[in-house]
Structure 1
Amino acid sequence: MCHYILDTVAHPYVFYIGGKYIKTQPNTYRYKGFHRKIESGIDYLLLEEYFGLKANKFKIHKNILKNKTVANSILKLYEYSLYNTYHIKHGGKIFSDSYSQFRNYFILTFDSFGLKKLIAKVIAPILPKGIVGFVDSCSYYKCADPNFDYLNLSKSVWRHPVTGHKYYLNFFEILDLAYASISEILVELNNVFYGQNHDDISKLYDMIPNYSYSSGLDVSDRRPFKYAIF
């Protein structure tokens, strides 16, 4: 839920400065890989700002994704939820496999000294076209360009990629908006589990938005992405 709310609030900014690549639209091919580059740069700077850590020295598979396997209780949750919501069978196995692959990705791309990034660039000409655009963002080593204002600390104007509305928020202010939104939801979620009216979840349902995680607009809004910084 926290990740979802953050995406709905932050992605409009990210898609404005990095564009939105859509496989079926050739005019968006120039944006391929930029979303990952932008988010890697933001991750790098935030990790340094809040924790004083270098992203290329931080082992995600050791500090966040510590467990090699997922607890059986969680697998049962996904088995039940995916089937009863989307009629997808074997949800537990799907989640287990996804977790393992996700964790292995961070093991494979951990690049303290930039050697893996260098190797990836050298072999880029022989890599499949589908992944060449992601070579620069496969490693956190020097992934933040010092000449680019990832966090919009300059408070420059940026536009919502769909509506074109103008904003001057920096990324810390965007995070504050996400924190405020998710805090209200989590308080109500706590009330559902532990409050006096724990059987009444109607208010919680009303608080959880049905927003696109890409545009931050209601999912019924099908307008295209048309504003980007380049």
Structure 2
Amino acid sequence: MRHFLVLATLLTSAAWAADVAPPRNVVNFEAQATREVANDLALATLFVELSDNDPARLAEKINVALAGALKQLKQYPTVQSGGTSFSTFPLYTPKSNKQEGWRSRGELRVSSKDFAAISKLIGELQKPSVSSAAMQLAEVRYAVSDELRSKAEEGLIEEGIAQFKRRAAVIQKSMSASDWKMMSMNVNTSSFRPEMRSMMMKNAVMMDSGSAPAPIEGGESRLQVNVNGSIQLAD
């Protein structure tokens, strides 16, 4: 008897659901808001790459170079360290394919909102010293800092929702509806940063003591907010 009651309840619920008509006059659409925001954060990757027959001696050379770079970094309080990394791989002769030594690479990542300071630091790290090898510049890239991005996105969200409401009013008028109400809404943010001209610094010649720091131009990133959802038009 209990099984019969459960089955009857399920059948009744299914029949009731089938009788419920889907919402009428529902329109799905989206709106966008974009803004060009100046990149206020520079991120650079520098590296030192050396070879040696003795892996322990090679590791020591890389460690000395990285330690020297970190020591110089401490002289720039407005430049932050993004950490270091270390990798080693064997070297083989082309003909006999026998191992002939080792090659290691150490990397240092730095970032700063102070473009002048990070530019000067990059120049100094590329100078060879008596105790260690010079660093080389792998890349410089730019971004919008989290603080600036959050502030800009708040304004864009307001603009995107306002644009969504304007489009809803246009749709209502075009469909000769008396009113509209919100059914659902999704808000998504994204950004686009074009290739930066400063990437030519990757192959920059190492500076001597009389050289001026290489100029850094951050450019802009395009922040975008997409607002999509659905409204229901009143008859």
Larger strand share, 1 or 2? 2
Structure whose CA Rg is larger: 2
Structure 1 length as normaliser, TM-score? 0.17
Structure 2 length as normaliser, TM-score? 0.17
Larger helix share, 1 or 2? 1
